[in-house]
Amino acid sequence: MAHSANSNSDTVPDNVVTLEQDDDDVWWFIGPDGDQFVSLGVNHIEPHLWLGSYNEPETLERHGEDFTTMYGTFNPYGDAAEDWIENIVDDVSELGFNSFGRHVQAGIPHQYYANDIYYVAPMNTAPIASWKQVQENAFKKFGPFPDPFSDAFERDISHRVEQVCKKHRSEENLLGYFYADLPWWQLRPDEQRDYDENTFIYPWATAIVQMDATAAGKQRWLEVLRDGYDSAKEVAAVYDVDADSWDELARHTDWFDPADDESVRADLLELMQGVAERWYGLHEEYIRQYDEKHLILGDKQNFIPEWLFPFLEEYVDVTLIQKYEPFEAHHAKAERLYEETGNPIINGDGSFSVVRDEQSEAGSKGYHFDTEEEVGEAYRRYVRKSLEQPYMLGWHHCGVLEQWDDSERGDIETSETGFLDPYENEYTAITDRIEEANRMANQWHADATDGGVSDD
């Protein structure tokens, strides 16, 4: 592992993490020291997991009383927090992990770990995550989706990108820049069934068409309609709304009972293609203004509609997916994603788990098995089967420390999975297989051939 550059430096190092496709068409990360590697990451380095009612006393005893403030909240600047992060880096490195993925608590100074492990830098430029939208808003009341066509949106992206790039661009061990966690580009088929909706299937578009008449997004919507129809009255007939002019259509907010669903779907898709161009194009433009070298990882997505493929191909270096299942279940989708975009792929979030008695109320994330031995074997098989594909560049495990019911919730209500119990003890039936798989990962990937191997 190469050591980080000076975190106060305002320059990009000569040597950073890059991509390489070797003579056998196998993709690799290339570290600043020139070594080939795949990213074997861990997610959810979050202090609330260490501060449940059941494990807070042990956490404070192990790492120090200044882990929390006088108000009982996490203190990121004490000696205990630094000791805690160093301990995590040591523990996961001994198991063969080499990177921190998504959900490292934002308040933790990256200097605590940037010298010793690869990591991603989240942008968090806009609240477009599906899980956040679902928690906070009812259907057709999506928000706070921003107006992507507005000048304010571009200023916000520029400002946030500048902040993040200047904070992280001097780090040799930065894997790349990360945008949104599960952006809600389109309702998945199961969500369409749940909402009984197969026309207005783009939540961001649903928000835009309800904006005020003078909003830039609403004006872009009117441009789409003007390009597709001969008159405002023709639009009114398709959408079954009462409007005789373009000005009346601009003021309209209820578009949701159309007469011609097929035409409406085409209009909404055209609007969303413009949204994606703004989202990916502006991020890439401003990142490259402040950092011309580090990789762009884009969003982490569970469901990636095919209309997004051209934008990923043009503006993103590595595609991040999220899959909580054996690799065989999404092998074909991953292969098609690679074929259409040309981008290597990381499963940026996934896990296998046993649901403990202590998780009986909230349940547990992950693809469930009955025994720890099965969980360990599933981890090993996922690493092997995924990295036998030349386009796969790694897997980031959803969780380090297992969470039980009586603990503050994170991104969703379900408890986090982990290969350590809440007291930082290894589940050895799991970690033995993790260590074995991580040790073999580079060799399995080196043996990959163009087109991958079978799922047998």
- pLDDT tier at 133, thresholds 50, 70, 90: low
CB 321 within 8 A of CB 379: no
- Cβ atoms within 10 Å of 262's Cβ, excluding its own: 10
Q: What is the pLDDT of residue 136?
A: 52
pLDDT digits (tens, 9 = 90+) for 28-79: 999 999 999 999 999 999 999 999 999 999 999 999 999 999 999 999 999 9
CB 390 within 8 A of CB 27: yes
Shared domain for 439 and 363, answered yes or no, is: yes
Shared domain for 337 and 264, answered yes or no, is: no
Distance between CA atoms of 355 and 36, rounded to whole angstroms?
36
- pLDDT tier at 410, thresholds 50, 70, 90: confident
Q: Which of 294, 326, 361 finishes a domain? A: 294
Shared domain for 141 and 115, answered yes or no, is: no
370 in any annotated domain: yes
Distance between CA atoms of 152 and 128, rounded to whole angstroms?
16
Shared domain for 4 and 76, answered yes or no, is: yes
Average pLDDT of the segment spanning 289-318: 95
175 in any annotated domain: no
pLDDT digits (tens, 9 = 90+) for 316-358: 999 999 999 999 999 999 999 999 999 999 999 999 999 999 9
308 in any annotated domain: no
129 in any annotated domain: no
pLDDT at 309 over 80: yes
3: CB partners within 8 A, 6+ apart = 115, 172
Give the strand pairing for 392-397 and 295-301.
unpaired
pLDDT at 10 over 90: no
300 in any annotated domain: no
pLDDT digits (tens, 9 = 90+) for 354-405: 999 999 999 999 999 999 999 999 999 999 999 999 999 999 999 999 999 9
Q: What is the pLDDT of residue 182?
A: 82
Q: What is the pLDDT of residue 8?
A: 44
Shared domain for 140 and 280, answered yes or no, is: yes
Shared domain for 337 and 441, answered yes or no, is: yes
Shared domain for 406 and 438, answered yes or no, is: yes
pLDDT at 149 over 80: yes
Shared domain for 10 and 118, answered yes or no, is: yes
CB 370 within 8 A of CB 390: no
Distance between CA atoms of 38 and 439, rounded to whole angstroms?
11
Calculate what percentage of the chain has a pLDDT beyond 90.
84
Q: What is the pLDDT of residue 132?
A: 62
Shared domain for 98 and 147, answered yes or no, is: no
Alpha-carbon dihedral of residues 369, 372, 373, 379, nearest 10 degrees? 70
Shared domain for 7 and 104, answered yes or no, is: yes
177 in any annotated domain: no
Distance between CA atoms of 256 and 266, rounded to whole angstroms?
14
3 in any annotated domain: yes
Distance between CA atoms of 162 and 290, rounded to whole angstroms?
7
Q: What is the pLDDT of residue 412?
A: 76
Shared domain for 278 and 355, answered yes or no, is: no
Shared domain for 381 and 330, answered yes or no, is: yes
pLDDT at 259 over 60: yes
Q: What is the pTM of this model?
A: 0.92
Q: What is the pLDDT of residue 3?
A: 40
Q: For tokens 């051209």, name the residue.
A: 310
Domain count, the chain: 2
Identify any residues that bridge with 19 across adjacent strands, giving them in sequence order.
Answer: 29
Q: What is the pLDDT of residue 303?
A: 86
Q: What is the pLDDT of residue 131?
A: 64
Q: What is the pLDDT of residue 139?
A: 47
31 in any annotated domain: yes
Higher pLDDT, 130 or 302: 302
Q: What's the mean pLDDT when you consider all of the chain?
A: 92
Q: What is the pLDDT of residue 5?
A: 42
Domain that holds residue 341: 1-122+318-451
